């Protein structure tokens, strides 16, 4: 008879499970359901991972109540959680609760017939067909494939043909990951048209009960295609046969809280168990994946021409911006006017939120910082100063009263750009897309619909407008402050800047009308700007890979980052120094230790931050050593330490 349950608790500091007694006189629960248990006098959630009759050597508390009647995690998910715990040195509970959306099952949705409407698939051109066949016919051991296609080359059509092939098998399932769900509504509609009644969408914009219902339908096998952002990789599909990661270079596929997984790694692990295929699609692939593809370590499939035969790559020009007061140069103003005269549409990118990114205090001779962070406060058009790191906000008047001299507003953000465009082109219909204008998901869909219907003449915004837009009447793309991002103290800053410039440039001229791209830069001779002008990713790769090799950065090594967080800076520095000393005594074979040093953003949300960086060519050996190192480290209540394997940024 089973009297005890091992439960994975949703707490970072409990690495394994805790044992509780079952509720008496109630039907025995099933492994995989959520429960409420008492921990340190408080009610917390957990998941039953094992039922047994072995009494532990401590007094067990009873389970308070069963949240679910049926399991809401599959056996595969439980197994994956155990693997993640070892891989990312995190708690079992944290791993499991990354997979489960909040909420409860409300109703049993009817099972609808699964169809494949192959007649809605478009015919592939020669390059697309070659890529499709190369992936489809590859051997089982070649699990990972890079689909490297220029913007507008029709990668989505290759995805659809691969999905069609996989779904010929009755029990096969697919996960399709995108960096930003709200920017991919046209793609979702296309997939639903070809595969009706089979698509479930998982993302944070959904209402809690809607998201959980979709999750439950997937668990019950009622949906075979899952589309979503990063965490959708955990969807409890059966017989996962294909994972597609669109815009695979995007850093949003890396989780920024424990466990700090990358969706690509989770996909690879799951597909290893099912002999499925992982397809990574991008016009500007991550340097590591492109490097591995060139070396033959993963499949490599290239599409070099645009899907619309008449469409040509846009003509790109760069202009040096000298006058700060003039946000849009005279040359770019003339080009905008010319394209609007032809009833064509324009995209203008400025990758800075707010109205004025900087507020200068003449009295202190300093920019006004967030009181909780080491970041500058940004002035917004509603007279509020806001921190884009922690969310702190306060009125401009409050800070003005603190200073004996007037505060100066400097620089330009997307709000000021929108206002500037309305002044320069008063008869044009202008819309802005950034995090401040899109608090609700419906706004993005509405803007896209208006753009498609010709109700918008100029669309402006931050990097959001660089992804997924495919509108043939957009013929001019202007990029302002193109050097923004190159000064970030991170070895990937050049890669990210090149990718952003190339992606947004690819929005122009996607139909029969010729496209133009106009870049404003304070340093047009910077190598990244010049390489972006050529739109030749391989040239950029050759330039960047030499830098990576000289400093032994990925792909020539792998990284582990230890980040220390504390309310007290001296405690943070002291703990990081102690860890450095202890790490050196561990004789970490083949690992180079850098730091400790303050993080570029040394303070975020009242927490000081220091970090240590480890470089290695023997990751599994280092992981094993760090696992033992962590177990032997005494918890410090004043300083939290997080382990980040293969970090995508170092700020």
Q: How many CB atoms lie within 10 A of CB 362?
A: 12
d(CA 403, CA 162): 62
Please indicate if the annotation marks 378 as binding a ligand: no
Our measurement of the distance from residue 615's CA atom to the centroid of its chain's CA atoms, rounded to an integer in Å, reads: 23
d(CA 505, CA 235): 34
The reported pLDDT for the residue numbered 84 is 97
Structure tokens belonging to residue 273: 């168990």
118 versus 608: which is more confidently predicted?
608
> Which residues are CB-neighbours of 144 under 8 A, at least 6 positions away?
268, 277, 278, 280, 298, 299
pLDDT in tens, 290-332: 999 999 999 999 999 888 777 666 788 888 765 556 789 899 9
Instruction: Assess contact for 468 and 187: CB atoms under 8 A.
Output: yes
140 CB burial (10 A radius; 0-12, 13-18, 19+): exposed
Quote the percentage of the chain above a pLDDT of 90. 71
> Which residues are CB-neighbours of 634 under 8 A, at least 6 positions away?
none
Categorize the per-residue pLDDT at 512 as very low, low, confident or very high, splitting at 50, 70 and 90.
confident
Domains and CATH numbers, the chain: 4-99 (3.40.1440.60), 118-303 (3.40.50.300), 315-354+413-549 (3.40.50.300), 358-410 (no CATH), 558-645 (3.30.70.600)
d(CA 232, CA 252): 13
- Bridge partner residues of 44 (DSSP): 37
Q: Give the chain's length.
A: 651
The residue-averaged pLDDT of 610-622 equals 96
- Bridge partner residues of 616 (DSSP): 558
pLDDT in tens, 370-418: 999 999 999 999 999 999 999 999 999 999 998 888 899 999 999 999 9
Instruction: Assess contact for 505 and 479: CB atoms under 8 A.
Output: yes
d(CA 185, CA 166): 23
The reported pLDDT for the residue numbered 323 is 56
Closest CA to 412 of 435, 366, 381, 437: 381
For residue 503, pLDDT beyond 90: no
Quote the percentage of the chain above a pLDDT of 70. 97
Q: Which range among 49-58, 76-85, 159-168, 429-438 shows the weakest confidence by mean pLDDT? A: 429-438
The reported pLDDT for the residue numbered 425 is 96
The reported pLDDT for the residue numbered 320 is 77
For residue 443, pLDDT beyond 60: yes
The reported pLDDT for the residue numbered 325 is 65
The residue-averaged pLDDT of 607-634 equals 95
On average, the pLDDT of the chain sits at: 91
d(CA 308, CA 510): 7
The residue-averaged pLDDT of 150-168 equals 93
Measured in degrees and rounded to the nearest 5, phi and psi for residue 165 equal -65, -45
d(CA 446, CA 432): 12
The reported pLDDT for the residue numbered 321 is 65
Stretch (H or E) spanning 627: helix 619-631
The reported pLDDT for the residue numbered 170 is 85
Categorize the per-residue pLDDT at 476 as very low, low, confident or very high, splitting at 50, 70 and 90.
very high
Structure tokens belonging to residue 410: 């400097």
d(CA 37, CA 7): 9
End-to-end Cα, the chain, rounded Å: 53
- Bridge partner residues of 608 (DSSP): 566, 603
Categorize the per-residue pLDDT at 161 as very low, low, confident or very high, splitting at 50, 70 and 90.
very high
d(CA 338, CA 516): 11
Q: How many CB atoms lie within 10 A of CB 341?
A: 8
Categorize the per-residue pLDDT at 482 as very low, low, confident or very high, splitting at 50, 70 and 90.
confident
The reported pLDDT for the residue numbered 79 is 97
Categorize the per-residue pLDDT at 232 as very low, low, confident or very high, splitting at 50, 70 and 90.
very high
Please indicate if the annotation marks 572 as binding a ligand: no
Closest CA to 596 of 619, 571, 578, 615: 578
The residue-averaged pLDDT of 166-180 equals 93
Helix (H, G, I), strand (E, B) or coil at 37: strand
Categorize the per-residue pLDDT at 58 as very low, low, confident or very high, splitting at 50, 70 and 90.
confident
For residue 468, pLDDT beyond 70: no
Please indicate if the annotation marks 373 as binding a ligand: yes
d(CA 633, CA 582): 10
- Output the pTM of the full model: 0.94
The reported pLDDT for the residue numbered 470 is 77
d(CA 249, CA 252): 9
Please indicate if the annotation marks 387 as binding a ligand: yes
**DSSP secondary-structure letter at 27?**
P
**DSSP secondary-structure letter at 470?**
-
For residue 283, pLDDT beyond 60: yes
**DSSP secondary-structure letter at 249?**
T
């Amino acid at each position: 008879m089973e009297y005890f349950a091992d439960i994975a608790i949703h707490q970072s500091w409990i690495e394994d499970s805790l044992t509780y007694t079952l509720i008496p006189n109630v039907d025995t629960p099933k492994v995989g359901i959520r429960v409420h248990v008492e921990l340190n006098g408080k009610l917390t959630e957990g998941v039953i991972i094992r039922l047994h009759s072995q009494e532990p050597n401590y007094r067990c508390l009873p389970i308070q109540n069963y949240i679910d009647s049926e399991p809401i995690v599959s056996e595969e998910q439980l197994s994956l959680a155990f693997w993640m715990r070892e891989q990312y040195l995190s708690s079992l509970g944290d791993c499991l609760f990354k997979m489960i959306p909040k909420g409860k099952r409300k109703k049993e949705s009817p099972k609808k017939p699964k169809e494949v409407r192959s007649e809605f698939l478009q015919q592939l051109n020669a390059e697309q067909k070659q890529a499709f066949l190369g992936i489809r016919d590859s051997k089982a051991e070649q699990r990972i494939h890079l689909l490297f296609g220029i913007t507008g080359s029709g990668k989505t059509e290759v995805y659809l043909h691969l999905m069609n092939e996989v779904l010929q098998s009755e029990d096969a399932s697919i996960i399709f990951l995108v960096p930003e769900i709200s920017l991919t509504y046209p793609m979702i509609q296309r997939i639903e048209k070809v595969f009706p009644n089979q698509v479930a969408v998982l993302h944070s914009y959904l209402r809690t009960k809607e998201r959980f219902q979709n999750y439950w339908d997937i668990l019950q096998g009622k949906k075979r295609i899952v589309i979503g952002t990063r965490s959708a990789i955990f969807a409890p599909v059966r017989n996962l046969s294909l994972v597609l990661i669109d815009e695979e270079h995007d850093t949003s596929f890396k989780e920024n809280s424990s466990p700090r997984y990358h969706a690509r790694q989770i996909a690879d692990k799951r597909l290893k168990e099912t002999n499925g295929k992982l397809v990574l699609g991008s016009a500007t692939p991550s340097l590591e994946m492109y490097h591995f593809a060139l070396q033959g370590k993963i499949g490599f499939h290239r599409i070099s021409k645009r899907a619309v035969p008449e469409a040509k790559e846009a003509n790109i020009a760069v202009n040096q911006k000298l006058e700060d007061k003039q946000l849009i140069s005279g040359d770019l103003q003339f080009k905008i006017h010319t394209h609007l005269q032809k009833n064509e549409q324009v995209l203008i990118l400025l990758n800075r939120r707010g109205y004025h990114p900087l507020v200068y205090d003449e009295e202190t001779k300093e920019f006004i910082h967030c009181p909780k962070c080491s970041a500058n406060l940004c002035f917004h058009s509603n007279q509020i100063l806001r921190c884009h790191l922690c969310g702190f906000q306060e009125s401009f008047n409050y800070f003005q009263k603190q200073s004996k001299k007037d505060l100066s507003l400097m620089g330009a953000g997307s709000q000021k750009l929108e206002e500037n465009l309305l002044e320069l082109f008063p008869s044009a219909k202008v819309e802005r897309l950034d995090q401040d204008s899109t608090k609700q998901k419906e706004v993005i869909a509405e803007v896209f619909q208006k753009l498609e219907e010709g109700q918008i003449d100029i669309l402006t915004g931050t990097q959001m407008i660089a992804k997924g837009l495919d509108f043939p009447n957009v013929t001019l793309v202007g990029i302002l402050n193109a050097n923004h991002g190159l000064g970030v103290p991170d070895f990937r800053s050049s890669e990210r800047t090149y990718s952003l410039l190339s992606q947004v440039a690819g929005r122009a001229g996607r139909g029969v009308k010729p496209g133009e791209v106009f870049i404003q830069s304070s340093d047009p001779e910077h190598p990244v700007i010049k390489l972006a002008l050529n739109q030749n990713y391989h040239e950029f790769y050759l330039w960047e890979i030499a830098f990576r090799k000289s400093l032994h950065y990925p792909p020539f090594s792998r990284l582990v980052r230890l980040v220390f967080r504390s309310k007290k800076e001296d405690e943070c520095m002291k703990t990081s120094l102690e860890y450095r000393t202890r790490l050196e005594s561990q004789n970490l074979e083949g690992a180079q230790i850098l730091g400790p040093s303050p993080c570029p953003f040394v303070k975020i949300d009242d927490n000081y931050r220091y970090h240590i960086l480890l470089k290695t060519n023997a990751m599994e050996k280092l992981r094993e050593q760090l696992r033992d190192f962590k177990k032997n480290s005494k918890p410090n209540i004043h300083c939290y330490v997080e382990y980040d394997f293969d970090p995508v940024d170092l700020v």
